[in-house]
Structure 1
Amino acid sequence: MSTEQPNNPLHGVKLADIVEYLHNEYGWKELGMLVDINCFQNNPTIKSSLKFLRRTPWAREKVEKLYLQTIK
């Protein structure tokens, strides 16, 4: 399975796991400053953030980029 996309560090990582990790690492307030999107700034929850990120590719890209920077 991992040989299908050997150069993709996000292969096999769920969006829910990414959001949970970032929330635990930074908290909502700092996460809202690092990634300037409303789903992290106004009454944020994991569920509402996932719903928004799944429908909004540009926002998802920002979150994935922050995740990759954080885990390195």
Structure 2
Amino acid sequence: MQGVAFAPGGTTLATSSGFTHTIRVWDAATGALRATFDRETGWGPTVRLPIAFSPDGTALAYGRGDATVALAGL
């Protein structure tokens, strides 16, 4: 499963790939890559990597294959 989430305000975009176990954070206006997360994204029996921003846009939460949720500060 692939995931896409916009931060509040619409200036930051996060994309995820369950197949590559990678999350990328982008500047929505310029397309510039701001950050990449590839650790602790998990290896479960299904390839899912759901993502969501916190209400203030300062953190990114993502689901892992082992049914836990991780939180990353931006």
Normalising by structure 2, what TM-score?
A: 0.29
Normalising by structure 1, what TM-score?
A: 0.29
* Greater Cα radius of gyration, structure 1 or 2: 1
Higher helix share: 1
